[in-house]
Amino acid sequence: MFSARTFGKLSLVLGRNRSAGTLAGISHVPVMATETIKFLKPQDNELFLDMTFGAGGHTKEILKVAPNAKIIALDRDPTAHDMALAMAKKYPGQIFPILGRFSELPEQLAKINVNQQSIDGIIFDFGCSSMQFDEGSRGFSISKNGPLDMRMDQDRFPDTPSAAEILAKIDEVDLARILKIYGEEKQAKKIARAIVETRYSIKKIETTKELADIVQSCLGSGSFRLDKLQRPSHPATKTFQALRIFVNNELNEINYGMILAQRYLKIGGKMIAITFHSLEDTIVKRHVMGNVLNDMANTLPLKYCSHTISYEHDVMENVMKTSWHQMTKHVVLPGDDEVEQNPRSRSAKLRAVVRVA
């Protein structure tokens, strides 16, 4: 069994010496927090793994219900990790921060003697956090001009290209595939052609505004779309989504995260997964229902990125029969009040399952 001292050493190794003052003012409302706690049913002295810590919203909700619970706080974003380190100081011996992707987790858990089938509950809250969208310099937001970056890991992996660097060298056919599959963009070929033509005839695309303007100009002045709340949505929204997913290798990470959840949860342990678009939900659904195809998420070329996930051969070759019991017949959707108060939740879907094998 791990110790607080061991976790403390790990936090010092993985942590970053960033002033706590830089984190002031960051706010993030956890999506479907009430439903998460309802299905998770946290108890004192249980061990939980928050796989997408963010600003710690779900972790805080667990501690309200189970003040003596222990929580491993994982996030690939250094800013989120800094927030986890700050929270760990308030809850000594209870919050244990880890900086890394899902694919880095097994190595880090092995260092601190956390074994498979030892965790009581796991939470996933996929997609970008409000903090990432709110900081224009991160390059995630259409409405805040900044460098076209989109790397969730920031500068942890200097060899990983930014969205701007990918757009500077990707060919039109591959870009169209990325936009169509990862962004579910119907005008993928048209947008890809406009981006490549701009790159060759005018300049490299280096800012979020430049990309957003190209897409809008390509699709025409009347191209604003409506979201699920029937509100105007920028025509470049799907393009930004596709690039972000590709830059961060998100679908392969989610696929691997689902495998890890099955391995590290106890029999009877609970998993809560909150998704925000159909690509994420499809992967979660396939794992929950046991309909997993070999390497199913890796549907696009990664030659423009430096992703180096090394999946265990026996894991990826295994066609799993379901290890889960679904706690609800259908996905759980946010209530009208939550959508009104927190628009980010409007597309959320929650799946709650118990490990049975």
Which helix (H) or strand (E) segment is 120 a member of? strand 119-125
Residues 147 and 65 in one domain: no
Residues 306 and 257 in one domain: yes
Residues 158 and 231 in one domain: yes
pLDDT tens for residues 275-309? Answer: 999 999 999 999 998 876 554 544 455 556 655 55
Residues 261 and 120 in one domain: yes
- For residue 12, what pLDDT band results from cuts at 50, 70 and 90? very low
Average pLDDT rounded to a whole number, residues 98-127: 94
More confident residue, 340 or 52: 52
Asked whether residue 23 is assigned to any structural domain, the reply reads no
Asked whether residue 57 is assigned to any structural domain, the reply reads yes
What is the distance between the alpha carbons of residues 350 and 352, in angstroms, rounded to a whole number? 7
What is the distance between the alpha carbons of residues 5 and 89, in angstroms, rounded to a whole number? 13
Residues 119 and 254 in one domain: yes
Taking 70 as the threshold, does the pLDDT of residue 4 lie above it? no
Asked whether residue 158 is assigned to any structural domain, the reply reads yes
Residues 89 and 39 in one domain: yes
- For residue 134, what pLDDT band results from cuts at 50, 70 and 90? confident
pLDDT tens for residues 15-49? Answer: 433 333 344 444 567 999 999 999 999 999 999 99
Residues 278 and 293 in one domain: yes
More confident residue, 212 or 143: 212
Residue 16 pLDDT: 38
User: Which residues pair with residue 195 across a beta bridge?
Assistant: none
Residues 202 and 214 in one domain: yes
Taking 80 as the threshold, does the pLDDT of residue 186 lie above it? yes
Q: At what angle do helices 172-183 and 237-247 cross, to 10 degrees?
A: 100
What is the distance between the alpha carbons of residues 308 and 163, in angstroms, rounded to a whole number? 18
- Report residue 318 as tokens: 């295994």
* Domain CATH for 241: 1.10.150.170
Which residues lie below 8 Å from residue 77, measured CB to CB, with a gap of 6+? 54, 129, 132, 152, 153, 154
Last residue of a domain, one of 248, 278, 299: 248
Residues 119 and 151 in one domain: no
Last residue of a domain, one of 192, 214, 248: 248
- Report residue 327 as tokens: 């706690």
Residues 213, 191 contacting (CB under 8 angstroms): no
Average pLDDT rounded to a whole number, residues 311-340: 76
Asked whether residue 63 is assigned to any structural domain, the reply reads yes
What is the distance between the alpha carbons of residues 41 and 286, in angstroms, rounded to a whole number? 24
Last residue of a domain, one of 226, 248, 270: 248
Taking 70 as the threshold, does the pLDDT of residue 63 lie above it? yes
pLDDT tens for residues 330-348? Answer: 999 999 999 888 888 888 9
Asked whether residue 232 is assigned to any structural domain, the reply reads yes
Q: How many CB atoms lie within 10 A of CB 136?
A: 16
What is the distance between the alpha carbons of residues 140 and 79, in angstroms, rounded to a whole number? 15
Q: Which domain holds residue 147?
A: 133-248
* Domain CATH for 338: 3.40.50.150
Q: Tally the domains of the chain.
A: 2
Asked whether residue 14 is assigned to any structural domain, the reply reads no
Residues 182 and 320 in one domain: no
- Report residue 240 as tokens: 């930004």
Residue 316 pLDDT: 45
Asked whether residue 27 is assigned to any structural domain, the reply reads no
Average pLDDT rounded to a whole number, residues 67-86: 96
Residues 105 and 164 in one domain: no
What is the distance between the alpha carbons of residues 150 and 248, in angstroms, rounded to a whole number? 8
Residues 230 and 139 in one domain: yes
3-class DSSP assignment, residue 277: coil
Q: Where are the alpha helices (H) located in 145-187, listed in sequence order? A: 163-167, 172-183
Asked whether residue 43 is assigned to any structural domain, the reply reads yes
